[in-house]
Chains A and B, each alone.
Chain A
Amino acid sequence: MGSTSRYAGVILLAALALVPLWLGDYGRSLVTETLLFCIFAMSLDLLMGYTGLISFGHAAFFGLGAYTVAVLGALFGIHPVLGALAAICLAAPVAVAIGFFCIRASGVYFIMLTLAFAQLLYTVSIKWRSVTGGDDGLVAPRLGTGEQTYFAVLLTLLVVYFCLRRLIASPLGQVLIGIRENEARMRAAGYATARYKLLSFMIAGCLGATAGALFAMHNGFVSPSVLFWMLSGEGMIMVVLGGMGTLVGPMIGAAVFLLLKHFVSLHSAHWELLVGATFIACVMFFKQGIYGWFRERWARRSRP
């Protein structure tokens, strides 16, 4: 399985490297968006799938990243790469502050608190017109040509993926998994779990902001919808659809979700209906998500 998945990865990567040659502007733009949402979904899965923290407010960090790039670019003429770095640096303390309150709660209360904080930022983006442009949104500085942006996003995704893979296999990753499995036991074994959960929240927030920053420089425009709860919900759907608790799963989920969204919405205004039905089918019949289902079949096939 190890070598097979490596081959699959290399082939996929080669295909992605050729995308700008194959596809036109629209296709390339769509793949760019998919790739940056892969980062978003993976960062959310670090919380949901690995730490066991069901955040319904991850759009807060996506939006924070997007607005940081846009505001710094529009008001001060700062280059989007610097803007993205600023976004990550800003996301860390914001995540610690939000996380500090949310982590004290658990279960439904954690979900509602994360939602509340994200909606708070959403409201700020609408009301603080002089900086954010309010409902009208804000023109964000683009990184460069569509191709340059595409490769920048692809490269960032690869870096994020390999860093997260390393993190999951590291002692810290194992501790997060332990917290997901049995937090009370982790405490009895000597772990101050709140600290680790906060750290996970911070890393996820920084990566979510990275995705948002890439979105701003890809889209060239930012509006309050990047902070809206729908985006948080869409992120959760991507994670669950693809397979929670894996890194590949959320990426598959992001790809399937966005492909459905774009192609079905060309033919029908009711694309959400199809996404909803797919999601329900997934939750009911493949509890491990699309990737989990494939992995299980593969394991069964290769068993002697």
Chain B
Amino acid sequence: MSILRTVDLSRSFGSLLATDCVNLAIEAGERHAIIGPNGAGKTSLLNQVGGQLRPSSGRIFFKDREITGLPPERVCKLGIGRTFQKNNLFTRLSVFDNVRLAVLARRGQPLNAFVPVTRFAAVEERTGEILVQVGLADRRGAAVRSLSYGEQRQVEIAIALAADPELLLLDEPTAGMSPAETAQMVEFVKGLPRTLTILMIEHDMQVVFSLADRITVLHYGRLLATGAPAEISRNEAVQEIYLGTAH
């Protein structure tokens, strides 16, 4: 079963077609990477799935339920978590508070105005678990802005995981990371349970080829090819347009 499908999805900015009639099907449990040169419309595509951007036309289905044009909070509640290309965090709050806010939305009582937030044992426990999972347990009290860039990327993922998603959207999870941090992130994503479907945008080909089951190549908003990593690396159109190696 496809967990995510887009049907003739298009989005234009003025005369620019950021997404041009894209038909994509992501299978449940798959690790799917979207690649393409700068300006290929990768983030625009992710933003339409995440509800940050309304499509101009076409439809999006999540588990066969149409989610086209739903606001981000609804998309999140349905089970799609996401990270952002640039760290998009609550920088003045602590690591723990960042993740707890996301956990509260899922398992807390966010409208409770009388009981101190620290009294909800289930929320505190789940927040602690996620911090252990992403390897930030010893930084829980630190303000997010005092963290290294790589650590902030981990907070991004922690917030996305706090929504208990079935589909995780990762927008360049290793962008701006050192080689050591990148290797750690790859191991981390590999270690995520296979029940979690992952759709990621990534520039680092090594990361893509070590993580992805299938790859989709976008070029000027259009879907150029979809297939297993081996097929994609053999594909001549991809080599010519994206990798720039064939002549």
Residues of A that sit less than 8 Å from B by CB: 166-167, 169-175, 177-178, 181-182, 184-193, 196, 199
Cross-chain contact of B112 among A170, A184, A186, A187 (Cβ < 8 A): A170
Q: Once the chains are docked, how many angstroms separate the CA of A166 from the CA of B116?
A: 7
> How far is it, in angstroms, between the C-alpha of A190 and the C-alpha of B223 when the chains are bound?
30
Q: 8 closest A-B pairs (Cβ-Cβ)?
A: A190-B105, A190-B76, A181-B90, A172-B113, A187-B72, A189-B102, A169-B116, A178-B101
Nearest CB of A to B165, in Å: 10
Q: In terms of DSSP, what is the predominant structure of the interface of chain A?
A: helix
**Once the chains bind, are A190 and B117 in contact (CB under 8 Å)?**
no
Residues of B within 8 A of A192 (CB): 71, 73
Q: Are A172 and B112 in contact (CB under 8 A)?
A: yes
The yes or no answer to B180 lying at the interface (CB within 8 A) is no
Residues of chain A within 8 A of B72, CB atoms compared: 184, 187-188
Segment 27-62 of B: residues with Cβ below 8 Å from A: 50-52
Q: Is the CB of B82 within 8 A of A188?
A: yes
A187 and B90 contacting across the interface, CB-CB below 8 Å: no
Is B142 on the interface with A (CB-CB < 8 A)? no
Chain B residue contacts of A196, Cβ below 8 A:
110
Question: Mind listing 17 A-B residue pairs with CB under 8 Å?
Answer: A170-B112, A170-B117, A171-B108, A171-B111, A172-B110, A172-B113, A174-B104, A178-B101, A181-B91, A184-B72, A184-B88, A185-B88, A186-B101, A188-B50, A188-B51, A192-B71, A199-B111
What's the least CB distance linking B182 to chain A, in Å? 24
Q: Please report the C-alpha to C-alpha distance between residue A198 and residue B111 in the assembled complex, in whole angstroms.
A: 12
State the Cβ distance, A104 to closest chain B Cβ, in Å: 13
Q: Which residues of chain A have C-beta atoms less than 8 A from B92's C-beta?
A: 181
In whole angstroms, how far apart are the Cα atoms of A174 and B92 in the complex?
13
What mask results when residues 88 to 114 of chain B are scored 1 for a CB within 8 Å of chain A, else 0?
Answer: 111111000100111011101111111
User: In the complex, what residues of B have CB within 8 A of residue A166's CB?
Assistant: 113-114, 116
Q: Does B163 contact A (CB under 8 A)?
A: yes
Task: Determine the residue in chain B with the shortest Cβ distance to A182.
Answer: B90
Quick check: B77 and A190 within 8 Å, CB to CB?
yes
Residue in chain B with minimal CB distance to A196: B110
Chain A CB within 8 A of B115 CB: yes
The answer to whether residues A170 and B73 also contact, given A185-B88, A186-B101, A189-B102 and a CB cut-off of 8 A, is no
B67 interface residue per 8 A CB criterion:
no
Do A189 and B162 touch (CB < 8 A)? Answer: yes
Q: Are B73 and A171 in contact (CB under 8 A)?
A: no
Contact in complex: B163, A190 (CB < 8 Å): yes
Judge whether A187 and B104 touch: CB under 8 Å.
no
State the CA gap A169–B88 with chains docked (Å).
24
Q: How far is the CA of A49 from the CA of B92 in the complex (A)?
A: 14
Assembly CA distance A167 to B76 (angstroms): 26
Q: A171-B120, A172-B113, A188-B84 are in contact. List 5 more A-B contacts (CB 8 A).
A: A172-B110, A178-B93, A189-B163, A190-B106, A191-B105
Q: How many residue pairs between the two chains, A and B, have CB atoms under 8 Å in the bound complex?
A: 95
Q: Which residues of B approach A to under 8 Å, CB–CB?
A: 50-52, 71-73, 76-77, 82, 84, 88-93, 97, 100-102, 104-106, 108-118, 120, 159, 162-163
CB nearest neighbor in A for B90: A181
The reply to whether B73 and A175 contact each other, CB–CB distance below 8 Å, is no
- The binding surface of chain B is classed by DSSP as loop
Verify B109–A171 contact, CB threshold 8 A: yes
Q: Complex Cα distance A185/B77, Å?
A: 14
Give every chain A residue within 8 A of B120 (Cβ-Cβ): 171
B166 CB, min distance to chain A CBs, angstroms: 14
Cβ–Cβ < 8 Å partners of B163 in chain A: 189-190
Central interface residue in B91, B92, B114, by most chain A CB within 10 Å: B114
Q: Which residues of A contact B73 (CB under 8 A)?
A: 187-193
A181 and B109 form a contact (CB under 8 A): no
* A contact residues around B100 at 8 Å (CB): 174
In the complex, what residues of B have CB within 8 A of residue A177's CB?
93
From A181, which residue of chain B is reached at the shortest CB distance? B90
Chain A residues near B97 (CB-CB < 8 A)? 174
A189 CA to B162 CA in the complex, in Å? 8
Return chain A residues, CB-CB under 8 Å to B77: 190
Check if B82 sits within 8 Å of A171, measured CB to CB.
no
Query: Is B89 a contact of A185 with CB atoms below 8 Å?
Result: yes
B121 to chain A, nearest CB (A): 13
Contacts of A191 in B (CB 8 A): 73, 105, 110
By a CB distance below 8 angstroms, the chain B residues around A190 are: 73, 76-77, 102, 105-106, 163
